[in-house]
Amino acid sequence: MNTPVIGVLALQGDVREHLIALAAADAVARPVRRPEELAEVDGLVLPGGESTTISKLAVLFGVMEPLRARVRGGMPVYGTCAGMILLADKILDPRSGQETVGGIDMIVRRNAFGRQNESFEAAVDVRGVEGDPVEGVFIRAPWVESVGAAAEVLAEHDGHIVAVRQGNALATSFHPELTGDHRMHALFVEMVRANRTPESL
């Protein structure tokens, strides 16, 4: 059976919504907090939430270094909103003590689309997602200021980059886990499936 096991980094943020969306996209989904749990998954989602808090807790739980190592090693990873910030090689305006996991050669600007009460929804055309545009929920969302040569821009909104892929790392400024449309998660599950070696099937 080729059902991938996908973790959701469960330190802070909208973990539950991602677990539900992954299960709906035919993955086995489980929360990940510790290095031993990380070692057992085929891919990982970094949820929306507060990126500084998640980064500090990841260091505290001893999961930051193992996570960096697995991302460097090619484990598929998908970050939404705060998760996108965590996947950026560089944050334009980091808070003190804020580290990233890295993995995508991009520079992100935190809270770029404005404050909490300026949150909005917009239809977003995402390369690789068939059919209607994805309903993008933007909550104090970051945007991507610039990407390096290896990163592929998958979507823009208002002239700003809001979805990026580099190899096995995927990131969106918006939150598909909140909409009930599981096509972004299905895309990620496909990435994880494609990455599994025949021995692990």
Catalytic residues: 81, 175, 177
User: Strand pairing of 160-166 and 169-172?
Assistant: antiparallel
- Closest separation in Å from C-beta 70 to ligand GLN: 21
Binding test (CB under 6 A) with ligand GLN, winner from 70, 140, 165, 183: 140
- Closest separation in Å from C-beta 147 to ligand GLN: 19
Which residues does residue 165 pair with via DSSP β-bridges, in sequence order? 152, 170
Site string for ligand GLN, 90-129 (x = CB under 6 A): --------------------xx------------------
- Closest separation in Å from C-beta 42 to ligand GLN: 24
d(CA 102, CA 44): 14
Residue closer to ligand GLN by CB (options 91, 192) is 91
Q: Is 8 in the site for ligand GLN (CB under 6 A)?
A: no
Question: What letter would DSSP give residue 117?
Answer: G
Contact 54, 86 (CB under 8 A): yes
Task: Considering only the stretches 57-65, 66-74, 80-88, 160-168, report the one whose residues sit in contact with ligand GLN under the rule CB under 6 A.
Answer: 80-88
Strands (E) across the chain are located at 5-9, 28-32, 43-46, 77-80, 88-91, 104-109, 120-124, 134-138, 143-147, 152-157, 160-166, 169-172
- Residues at the interface with ligand GLN (CB under 6 A): 48-51, 81-82, 85, 110-111, 139-140
